[in-house]
Amino acid sequence: MHSHRIAFVIFDGFQSLDLVGPHEVFQRAGGYDCSVVAPRSGPVHAESGLPVHAGFGVTALRPSGFDTLIVAGGAGVYTARHDPRLTGWIAAAARGARRVASVCSGAFLLAEAGLLDGRRVTTHWARAERLAREYPAVTVRPDPIFIRDGRFWSSAGVTAGMDLALALVEEDQGQRAALEVARHLVLFLRRPGNQSQFSVGLWSMQPSSDPIRRAVAAVHADPGARHDVAALAAQAGLSPRHLQRRFTTELGIPPAAYVERVRVEAAQRALEDGGDPLEAIARRYGFGTAETLRRSFHRCLGVAPSDYRDRFRSTTGEHL
- Cβ proximity of 92 and 86 under 8 Å: no
Active site residue 104: yes
Q: Which of 80, 93, 104, 264 is flagged as catalytic?
A: 104
User: What b/e sequence results for 154-183 when a residue is b if at least 16 CB atoms lie within 10 Å of its CB, and e otherwise?
Assistant: bbbbbebbbbbbbbbbbebbeeebbbebbb
Catalytic residues: 104
